[in-house]
Amino acid sequence: MTRRLLRLGERVYGLLVGLYPKRFQEQFGWSMKQNFRDLLDDPDMPTSRIWLSVLRDLGSSFVHEHLANLTGGRFMTRFPLPAGALRVAMVVVLIGATPLATGAAGYYLGRSQVQPVAESAFPPVMYQTFYFAHGTKWKTPFVCPVAPAPGVPAVDTWVFVEVTGTNEPQCPSAP
């Protein structure tokens, strides 16, 4: 195994050791890493077997130590937890965590990669949504200044105006 791979392996294992409770790490963290280095240096020990044993090891000792830490040691019995129960617990956690992780990843990707749709060039007014056919012409409600009576100042009022093609509706010109 090359020196670089050894260093990488040690670094990864260092991260895994970081998953144990803090007090445990303070007491045994260095020894565990040294132990792992010794295993990697051992010519009789295939690297694949080391990693397999480390992962299997994590599944049991990590859970044990955290439970012991939470319960002040009351959990620690003379007998180890049944391996089957631990495996089932890990599968349940994985099944539960997968949709959460997928959702989080999807949310992140959605936020980071999808660009917002360009805003319409038209102002957001009613005529974009309320077209209707009036006789043979398309008309839409539109706010226009309309004088209620001759000589009275114009007031903004909803009126129906004709729409042609994609042109913006125009208020009817005053008579």
Footprint on this chain of other proteins (rule: CB under 8 A) = 20, 24, 27-28, 30-32, 34-36, 38-39, 53-54, 56-58, 60-62, 64-65, 68, 73-74, 76-80
Q: CB of residue 108 vs other proteins: minimum separation in angstroms? A: 32
Q: CB of residue 26 vs other proteins: minimum separation in angstroms? A: 12
Tokens of 175: 């008579």
Task: State which residue, 77 or 112, has the beta carbon closest to other proteins.
Answer: 77
Task: State which residue, 14 or 145, has the beta carbon closest to other proteins.
Answer: 14
d(CA 32, CA 8): 16
Task: State which residue, 71 or 157, has the beta carbon closest to other proteins.
Answer: 71
Q: CB of residue 110 vs other proteins: minimum separation in angstroms? A: 38
Task: State which residue, 80 or 103, has the beta carbon closest to other proteins.
Answer: 80
Q: CB of residue 71 vs other proteins: minimum separation in angstroms? A: 11
